[in-house]
Structure 1
Amino acid sequence: MTTWVLLRGLMRESRHWGTFPHQLQKVAGDANIICIDFPGNGVLCEQSSLATIPEMAEYCRQQLLAKSLAPPYHVMAISLGAMVAVAWAERYPNDLNSMVLINTSLAPHNPFYQRLRPQNYPRLLRTLIFGNTHHREALVFQLTSQMHDPISARAIVDEWIHYARECPIKRRNILRQLRAASQFQAPEQAPKTPTLLLASQLDQLVDVHCSQTLAEKWQAEIKIHDHAGHDLPLDDSAWVIKAIQEWRHEILV
């Protein structure tokens, strides 16, 4: 049976996928849809975050094997989660049938000022480390979404605040995840795993050129959304699913 593995990014947990897993299930038939929380996030908030991206990849692999879900897998990952997918594909190339990487960035292929837009540094770091839950989640939404409906936006932020209060992430884990992402060095060669890159033209967090550079270096297909933000599955989940279907319809059947 086909297994889809969904990986989120920095400080995010499985619930931040929202309704996307259910929408993916509708087109993936009887495939397993597995959302994995990294240690330090979600239900694992009391644990220490892992120190490196390869350790996170190994963790994901062991979680699936513990559930008796054998490879190969299809992985969909966003931001930091996409780094984990790349590390996974490098270490265990036979584990993955395909990767869909959303708004990611990778050293040494992308310069630091594209990987995290410099204008966000002071406010982002100050709020993530010292801000209260409301301010932090409001800022994350502001930086990751281009949703303009104020009612929907408020509902999502309130939901995220609930998640954060129910499963609070520790400041030391935020720093450990930031450090792991900043220190990860992707391999020079392209992944052997078939890869689709999805990127957002209006991403305020990561420059769209990061995905464009990776697509060129890896000779991978890329699709760019013209008005969504960093959290592309949140802003336009239907577009994400359609992009996957157009890329490799056979992996959904």
Structure 2
Amino acid sequence: MSEPWILLRGLTRESRHWGAFATLLAARDGVLPIDLPGNGAQVHTRSPLAVDAYVDALRAEARRRGARAPYRVLAMSLGGMVATSWALRYPEEIERLVLVNTSMRPYSRMPERLRPTAWPVLVRVAHHWDGRDAEGIAETLIHGLTCARRDTLAADLATWRAIRASAAVSRANALRQLAAAARYTVRDVPRCALLVVSSRGDRLVNPVCSARLARAWGAPHVEHPWAGHDLPHDDPQWLADALHAGDATATAAAGSV
């Protein structure tokens, strides 16, 4: 039986932000969400300025929690950069890699990796980034920028504010994570099975970033027709189905060798 999927979130987000998607995936495959340093269970840890340092921390945490390589990793945004670095530095440890709405140099330009229309919103988020965000302004802005689905807005904000209240990411760590993402450049192609996933309605990262990455790597690419940057939130069942379809394709390809 395969090991559970390791799940890696992005900038300032943590394991609890996977929401319903983690529950759906756990019912079939099992999941092992791991927080990036500075987020969630690691909120009191200093976030590194280099993506490679996140890899070192995550490898140690996976071993501590009893996971055995080779791993299957599903990662989004900054987590996708970390997962890619992991697969390149320790290819024997990563069996399958699924990247959701990520971007990285040299395949994407800065205005594509962070849409200019998102910059004013992020400035407002930074202005209200006061730890617990008592009025919920920062989380409301983040929801509007990253989520296309609105029918769960009230429940989402209640959950996200509770997460922030219990494990508020510091402003310094948020900036360090942003710097690590901006500086990361990928220099090779992972040798594991790959799937690139993007959202056509992503208002934070231009989905062309995923399309270019998939073309450069010769990897399969699937695009959700309307979801925002936080695809696991907007359509968790679609993402779980895409993951399982990719599993079937990878198994068929392996059997034909």
Q: Same fold (TM over 0.5)?
A: yes
Separation (CA, whole Å) in 1 of partners of 2:176 and 2:129: 17
For the residue of structure 2 that corresponds to 1:99, the secondary structure is strand
Among 133, 136, 139, the residue aligned to 1:137: 139
For the residue of structure 2 that corresponds to 1:122, the secondary structure is helix
Structure 1 residues 10-46: Cα deviation after superposition (integer angstroms, max 9, x where no partner): 0001100012222102222xx4x11111221112222
Separation (CA, whole Å) in 2 of partners of 1:251 and 1:154: 39
What TM-score, normalized by structure 2, do the two folds share? 0.91
Counterpart in the other structure of 1:110: 108
Separation (CA, whole Å) in 2 of partners of 1:19 and 1:169: 22
8 A Cα contact 1:9 1:80, kept in partner: yes
Separation (CA, whole Å) in 2 of partners of 1:190 and 1:47: 30
Structure 1 residues 36-68: Cα deviation after superposition (integer angstroms, max 9, x where no partner): 112211122222112211111111111111223
Separation (CA, whole Å) in 1 of partners of 2:42 and 2:246: 34
Matched, 1:182 2:182: yes
Counterpart in the other structure of 1:232: 231
Matched, 1:9 2:7: no
8 A Cα contact 2:114 2:205, kept in partner: yes
Aligned residues: 246
Matched, 1:218 2:217: yes
Counterpart in the other structure of 2:20: 19
The correspondence of residues 18-57 of structure 1 with structure 2, limited to 5 A, is 18-28=19-29, 31=30, 33-57=31-55
Matched, 1:169 2:181: no
Separation (CA, whole Å) in 2 of partners of 1:130 and 1:138: 11
Structure 1 residues 108-150: Cα deviation after superposition (integer angstroms, max 9, x where no partner): 111111000012113303422544521111111111110132x
Amino acid at match of 1:15: R
Counterpart in the other structure of 2:154: 154
Amino acid at match of 1:119: T
8 A Cα contact 2:125 2:142, kept in partner: no
8 A Cα contact 1:76 1:100, kept in partner: yes
How far apart are 1:215 and its partner, in Å? 0.8
For the residue of structure 2 that corresponds to 1:142, the secondary structure is helix
Bigger shift: 65-74 or 199-208? Answer: 65-74
Matched, 1:64 2:65: no
What runs of 5+ residues in structure 2 fail to find an aligned partner? 252-257
Amino acid at match of 1:7: L
What TM-score, normalized by structure 1, do the two folds share? 0.93
8 A Cα contact 2:129 2:171, kept in partner: no
For the residue of structure 2 that corresponds to 1:243, the secondary structure is helix
Bigger shift: 65-74 or 7-16? Answer: 65-74
How far apart are 1:191 and its partner, in Å? 1.2
8 A Cα contact 1:129 1:171, kept in partner: no
Amino acid at match of 1:22: T
Amino acid at match of 1:118: P
Runs of 4+ in 1 over 3 A off after TM superposition: 129-132
8 A Cα contact 2:121 2:145, kept in partner: no
Structure 1 residues 183-240: Cα deviation after superposition (integer angstroms, max 9, x where no partner): 11111x3211111011000000000100000111011001100011101011001101
Bigger shift: 117-126 or 58-67? Answer: 117-126
Amino acid at match of 2:18: W
Counterpart in the other structure of 2:119: 121
* Percent of aligned pairs sharing the same letter: 37
Bigger shift: 140-149 or 19-28? Answer: 19-28
Counterpart in the other structure of 1:199: 198
